[in-house]
Structure 1
């Protein structure tokens, strides 16, 4: 493992990374193939730290893979990690697809990451979030044969979500994002490069690691382990990895009960930040409840942004770039 993957902070003058590090363990009995990702966003390092702890446990013999294959990627986007920010050239967790002619660093990462996803059966992607709040896990759609995100493994994916221990389960990402892209394309906020503008108005821009995995016949969840700097987020990530290994019977450890009732919410809308002067009325946290008509933010123009219905604010990002997601709205699953 390189010093960079061990968490040593590189100098700002360091050259751009030229590789990503992976760690694969093959059990001597056949079984599933699990991929675990950390630091898809470079400032979300709880997964990185949890993976590093577990690699040490494996090196010392405290944790042993007995069945199947698990691959750990402690730092999936090393440029963003090096810069200690969410992105390198762009958001790696959008427009996830191989590129015949890569145009940025994340395209080059995707050309390595997509084949890695192709070669595994399921994915645990470890993230954290800007503002306070409890951990939650994001799942894909119900089984369907539609055109947006056809899927046939909803039951297995739900079991994976439950074993992470997150108290909330959130669904509805891709169709909500697609509606946002449609509005964005109809009334674009011109910001950044032409490349950035093209990406954020591309319907495929909502496709990230889990969406790509589902499109290839696998399944996966995104676990939001807590606020970026919360030390408990590392333990949430660590527990989720170990419990996933237990669920898949890859290790000889008991699976903790998943009988606890979970709140299931569905994303239903997304609001973009239009101007750097747009501001929230308060420091919203994910899953803060709002009533229809409640003012969530104020545009630079002075116009109020109100909740369109009773529900919950999700992913509020006071530092969102103009033309990108400012916050989502969710409702309880009917």
Structure 2
């Protein structure tokens, strides 16, 4: 198993501190390919870091990467934090990764997804002083989000996960109760941790795992980020002209191994109020309460874990925002 690897560049002129990560999940390799391509551009003199600092992490989770699977011992992108008592491989990753995130200001975390679909960016909340996810850099995230090269932008991850935790706490024990995670911090991954230590950034879902276009999406996003932050001398990336802005608002858990979807859903499929999404093992229908989109449907979800999310359109992002 390889050692942890990061490649750091620091320019003479001051500027933002960016970190770009790939393969947080070992079977999501588009970021790794794109980062290696950018490193080749720098080594060959086609690209020069002229301001600030940038750190590239091509393979964030080497155990999962070498196994060609999502995780080593557990999902690195859940409850991410340093620990004094590392027990699983991902605990060691967190002890290496989290201090490095804290030394930077901006994170671009490159991912892919299981089913076919259009790339999208996941961003943080609006500015707030709340307990769950206080944040003060929304304008910076919004300005770069529309310049990453994708038109679909999603927010609401951590608050929706926390709402799901509260619903779980109110349910009586069941066969899946032992598997339910009742800690809202389980929803904290790379970008959520970055915001907790004062930074900001994105999870960019670049396409389906095997889509040959996904590494190109990741590569273009890296270049656009470097240009927007002025780490390289390049024209300012143009914002997308039509933004599809969605906010997660509900997570539905799988209560029993025999819960079944009504059909093969893909992320961002539209659902209408009253439409059948799935059926519980006892025949109880699971329907949409309002018009929206289904996100991250997982027919292989374990009992007591997230089965699917629902999102709806919102007007936070505007074409040409800056």
The TM-score by the shorter chain falls in which range?
A: over 0.9
Give a deviation string over 1:12-41, Cα, whole Å, max 9, x none.
xxxxx3631111111221111100011111
Q: Quote the Cα distance in structure 2 between the aligned partners of 1:147 and 1:109.
A: 27
Change over 3 Å in CA distance of 1:276–1:79 after alignment to 2: farther
1:287 aligned residue (268, 273, 277): 268
Q: Quote the Cα distance in structure 2 between the aligned partners of 1:186 and 1:80.
A: 35
Residue 191 of structure 2 corresponds to 210
1:201 aligned residue (174, 182, 189): 182
1:154 aligned residue (138, 154, 157): 138
Give a deviation string over 1:145-178, Cα, whole Å, max 9, x none.
1111111100001112111121111111111000
Residue 330 of structure 1 corresponds to 311
1:243 lines up with 2:218 in the alignment: no
Q: Is 1:130–1:317's contact at 8 Å kept on the other side of the alignment?
A: no
Q: Quote the Cα distance in structure 2 between the aligned partners of 1:110 and 1:164.
A: 26
2:34 aligned residue (50, 73, 90): 50
Shift in Å, 1:134? 0.7
1:134 aligned residue (94, 114, 118): 118
Q: What is the TM-score when the length of structure 2 is the normalising length?
A: 0.93
1:117 aligned residue (81, 94, 101): 101
Residue 245 of structure 2 corresponds to 264
Q: Is 1:43–1:228's contact at 8 Å kept on the other side of the alignment?
A: yes
- Aligned residue pairs, count: 314
1:168 lines up with 2:152 in the alignment: yes
Q: Is 1:273–1:321's contact at 8 Å kept on the other side of the alignment?
A: yes
Q: Quote the Cα distance in structure 2 between the aligned partners of 1:282 and 1:126.
A: 29
Residue 4 of structure 1 corresponds to none
3-state SS, counterpart of residue 135 of structure 2: coil
Give a deviation string over 1:57-80, Cα, whole Å, max 9, x none.
111111111111111111111111
Give a deviation string over 1:168-216, Cα, whole Å, max 9, x none.
1111111100011222344466569x7xx47x22121011111111111
Give a deviation string over 1:267-321, Cα, whole Å, max 9, x none.
0001122233322222211111110111112233333221121100011122222
3-state SS, counterpart of residue 37 of structure 2: helix
3-state SS, counterpart of residue 205 of structure 1: helix
Q: Quote the Cα distance in structure 1 between the aligned partners of 2:20 and 2:169.
A: 34
Q: Quote the Cα distance in structure 1 between the aligned partners of 2:174 and 2:182.
A: 10
Q: Is 1:35–1:72's contact at 8 Å kept on the other side of the alignment?
A: yes
Shift in Å, 1:226? 0.8
Q: Is 2:145–2:153's contact at 8 Å kept on the other side of the alignment?
A: yes
Q: Quote the Cα distance in structure 2 between the aligned partners of 1:22 and 1:106.
A: 17
Q: Is 1:131–1:316's contact at 8 Å kept on the other side of the alignment?
A: no
Shift in Å, 1:228? 1.1
Q: What is the TM-score when the length of structure 1 is the normalising length?
A: 0.90
3-state SS, counterpart of residue 163 of structure 1: coil
3-state SS, counterpart of residue 143 of structure 2: helix
Q: Quote the Cα distance in structure 1 between the aligned partners of 2:298 and 2:41.
A: 35
Q: Quote the Cα distance in structure 2 between the aligned partners of 1:247 and 1:304.
A: 47
3-state SS, counterpart of residue 245 of structure 1: helix
Q: Is 1:26–1:67's contact at 8 Å kept on the other side of the alignment?
A: yes
5+ residue gaps, structure 1, are 1-16
Deviates more, 1:120-129 or 1:299-308: 299-308
Shift in Å, 1:261? 2.2
Residue 86 of structure 1 corresponds to 70
